[in-house]
Amino acid sequence: MVRGAQPSASLLLFSLGLVLLYFTSGGTIGLAEGQKTWCVAKPSADEKVLTANLNYACSQVNCGVIQPGGPCYKPDNLVSHAAVAMNLYYAAHGRNAWNCYFQNSALVVQSDPSYGSCTYY
């Protein structure tokens, strides 16, 4: 077998070390201490997936802010409501990267997505 056709053992160990570091650090490598993050829905995410995410998140946390009359009700669309609900879930469960996976339909962001009277916690 030609050398280089397979990754070396040292490269595999190094990669494994990085993966372990990522998960043991809460998925926050590269963030300054105390840097706040938020979880938002990908605008391109499938509607069925976003609906499932919205339903799941709201079964785990209080989603009253996206109900009619709530501060995050408008804009009244699936992506916006899912983003708020997914962030509520993410925040309530420790802001870990794995709490924002949602079938690969979400992103962890470092810019506060709050708007108007709608505050993302």
Model pTM above 0.85: no
- What pLDDT is stored for residue 75 in this prediction? 97
Q: Collapsing DSSP states into helix, strand and coil, what is residue 61?
A: coil
User: How many CB atoms lie under 10 A from the CB of residue 39?
Assistant: 28
- What pLDDT is stored for residue 13 in this prediction? 47
Q: What is the pLDDT of residues 45-74, one digit of tens each?
A: 999 999 999 999 999 999 999 999 999 999
pLDDT, tens digit only, all 121 positions of the chain: 445 445 455 444 454 455 455 555 555 445 455 789 999 999 999 999 999 999 999 999 999 999 999 999 999 999 999 999 999 999 999 999 999 999 999 999 999 999 999 999 9
Query: What residue segments make up the domains of the chain, in order of their start?
Result: 38-109
Q: What percent of the chain has pLDDT over 70?
A: 73
Residue 28 to residue 49: CA distance in whole angstroms: 25
| 3-state helix vs strand vs coil in the chain, percent to 5 | 45, 10, 45
